[in-house]
Amino acid sequence: MNHTMNHTMDTKERFLYHSVGSHGENVFLSVFYTIVLVLSVPANAMALWVFCHPKNGSSSARVFLTHLALADMCYVLLLPMRVVYHASGGDWILGEAACRLSGFLFYLNLYCSLYFMTSISFDRFLAVVFPIRSLSWRKPAYAKVACAILWVTLTVSMAPVMASKQTMAIPLGVHNVTVCQQLYLERTSPLALRSLAVAFALPLVVLSLSYVLILFKLRAVKRQTPVHLKAKRMVVLTLVNFLVAFLPYHIHRFFYIVRYNQHNVSEEEVTSLSLGNRVTSALTCVNGVIDPLMYFFLTETYQRALLKLLGRAESAKTDQHSKPGSGTSSAF
């Protein structure tokens, strides 16, 4: 084996070893994932209940919101596996099948969330910029077909993740630990780099154009309607979501893949790239918390349901702590 191949193997082995974080980092990430899980599961469960309830009607936007909430729910339900992984000190104890499944579902639901969020933005663009002309396009039936195509296309695209072995045992100290390569060590081939660019480019272009055209339209409107106000909120919340959950991950993955396949990578760079991989991957799950905020500000039925639930909880708490005849009542 020549020197170049030796050095290449050494570089890849260093990335493999650095994929296991420190004790403090494992504690932090296990707590972080637990907090996101506790916040996002009930919020997205309520969103699914509200959006799927027959009495709340149907629209193209509601169809996309329903599928976005479903993708978010599927994604955050994977977090217990990450909690177990980090609570075990970076040792994957859940087996090969769970490792493959976690990688497949991570990619599937990450990109489903991104593309459904893009669809919602495009739907709002049509509603604001072409309110009359777009009525024939923005039918619930068309939205359902688009969602079905997205699910099938992304499922087929991510299926190869399930086909190859993804766990590897490495010596760490006096013990061996099992690394799941679908956690922070995803595909690093040139093909993966092209797939990353293509998968991210379309949502980036559509979101950017939708935002710009919506804002131009809103600036030209003298009298703002509820549709216009909702569009403004959507732009702000979607932009925050995109900047926090999606952009850091894809930018870092680009540099990570490029440097992973090069030979002149210092130990400090391997350490920082591996840490960045874990941090940006963790940030993607924040999407499951930010999206319910968007539902709250954009969807009156979700807002009423949440306020009603909080009002009942506050009322029960008040009744429990107030004395008879005090006249204390819920604030809601």
Residues 145-190 have pLDDT tens digits of 999 999 999 999 989 888 888 888 888 777 788 988 888 776 677 7
CATH fold for the domain made of 3-299: Rhopdopsin 7-helix transmembrane proteins (1.20.1070)
Domain ranges in the chain? 3-299
Dig out the tokens for 24 from the structure.
């403090």
Residues 110-155 have pLDDT tens digits of 999 999 999 999 998 998 889 888 888 899 999 999 999 999 999 9
- Report in angstroms the alpha-carbon separations of 250 from 5, 105, 224: 28, 17, 36
Three-state SS at 331: coil
Percent of the chain with pLDDT over 90: 43
**What is the distance between the alpha carbons of residues 28 and 287, in angstroms, rounded to a whole number?**
19
Instruction: Collect all residues with Cβ–Cβ distance below 8 Å to 97 and sequence separation of at least 6.
Output: none
pLDDT at 296 over 70: yes
- Burial letters 170-188, b for 16+ CB under 10 A, else e: eeeeeeebbbbbbbbbbbb
312 confidence band (pLDDT: 50, 70, 90): low
The values of phi and psi at residue 80, to 5°, are: -55, -35
